[in-house]
Amino acid sequence: MQPRIITFSRNVFLPLTTVCRNRCGYCSFRTPVQYGCLMPEEDVEKTLRGGAALGCTEALFTFGERPEEEPGFAAYLKRTGYTTILDYCEAMCRKSIAYGVLPHTNAGILTFDEMERLRAVNASMGLMLETTANVTAHMASKGKEPEVRLGMIEDAGKLKIPFTTGLLLGIGETIADREESLLAIRDLHKRYGHIQEIIIQNFCPKPGTSMANHPVPTTDEICATLRMARSILPKDIAIQIPPNLIDASLLISCGVDDLGGVSPLTIDYVNPEHPWPGIEELKTIVGNAHLRERLCIYPQYVKRGWYHPDLQLLINRLEQTIKARSGGS
């Protein structure tokens, strides 16, 4: 019997801005304009250069949703020489490609045209659905309206963008809400075939937020959700858990396929209190399963050619790099 394969990506995490229009009840990532404007271009390059030297193949670009809607941000951005945050993101993605690291952007809500533009410089993209329920935690966050998020995920399918989405557990949703969310993801994938992975992520309470004392999902509850996901979703959608947010070794047997992006260089800026495990720790976490590195674009989408032609040489080279690191397997 062949051992199970559990995959991961070696990445760097680049939060281009922490300014965000949303006010989620559990979030400490968002900061006001005066504190979180823009990751300087020189810091982006330093991170990309360091990541490339450490063998990273993915640059995870994130930022707060629609930061230009926050007073003062657009004026600040203009002083840096960029008109919009998407201009800046696209430019940094091009730098990432030049350093030999594939970009994956998770930028919150984008339009069809904006995603089409970023598709040219991204091997994959993502947006957490979080939940199809209307929860109190999202009351001050217009970008978290379920219909809006599902609409963007559908647009990604129309554009043939290899896509990551997922659920955030413990933010006020019910078990029935989780099932409804998984069914919605399944239906979109059946229509477009673009969802390469979903993340089942547990809520982590943050001091100073309105949900600082909110109860967290138990390991058994997360395991039950993972099993539900595996029973609902097609086999070609990988199920991922973040190995820095929970004891992942207790969940591997619940249907986990992937441990997500793990960085040897940068912290998890959304959950800075939870450090990444090292590669050797990942091997321990997966137990009897076989740990295998992957790119941010999954192999089936490479075979289909679901990427901009300008990325082909880099994708091919990084595939060979990973193959060599794994001993040719």
pLDDT for 83-126, tens place per residue?
999 999 999 999 999 999 999 999 999 999 999 999 999 999 99
| Per-residue pLDDT at 324 | 94
Cβ-proximal residues to 267 (8 Å cutoff; 6+ apart), any chain: 13, 275, 276
Rounded CA-CA distance 294/262 in Å is 11
| Per-residue pLDDT at 33 | 87
> Which residues sit opposite 122 in a β-bridge?
none
The arrangement of secondary structure in 5-324, i.e. its CATH architecture, is Alpha-Beta Barrel (3.20)
How many C-beta atoms lie closer than 10 Å to residue 94's C-beta? 14
pLDDT digits 0-9 by tens, 237-288 = 999 999 999 999 999 999 999 999 999 999 999 999 999 999 899 999 999 9
- Structure tokens that stand for 304 in this block: 């289909």
Read off the pLDDT band of 328 (50, 70, 90): low
- Structure tokens that stand for 86 in this block: 């998407």
| Per-residue pLDDT at 310 | 97
> Which residues sit opposite 17 in a β-bridge?
63
Among 91, 64, 14, CA closest to 261: 14
How many C-beta atoms lie closer than 10 Å to residue 212's C-beta? 12
Give the domain ranges of the chain: 5-324
CB 206, CB 28: distance < 8 Å: yes
166 φψ region: left (φ > 0), alpha (ψ -120 to 50), beta (else): left
For 63, which DSSP code? E
pLDDT digits 0-9 by tens, 36-56 = 789 999 999 999 999 999 999
Among 267, 240, 223, CA closest to 9: 240
The overall average pLDDT reported for the chain is 96
The amino acid present at 45, given as its one-letter code, is E
Among 249, 255, 198, CA closest to 223: 255
Rounded CA-CA distance 265/268 in Å is 10
pLDDT at 1 over 80: no
How many C-beta atoms lie closer than 10 Å to residue 221's C-beta? 15
204 φψ region: left (φ > 0), alpha (ψ -120 to 50), beta (else): beta
Angle between helices 85-98 and 112-119 (to 10 degrees): 20
| Per-residue pLDDT at 101 | 98
pLDDT digits 0-9 by tens, 226-245 = 999 999 999 999 999 999 99
Among 303, 325, 323, 314, CA closest to 162: 303
CB 105, CB 125: distance < 8 Å: yes
pLDDT digits 0-9 by tens, 159-217 = 999 999 999 999 999 999 999 999 999 999 999 999 999 999 999 999 999 999 999 99
Q: Find where tokens 């995603």 sit.
A: 115
Q: Given CA atoms 98, 101, 102, 106 in this order, what sign does their dihedral have? A: negative
Does the reported pTM lie above 0.85?
yes
53: exposed, middle or buried (C-beta count within 10 Å: 0-12, 13-18, 19+)?
exposed
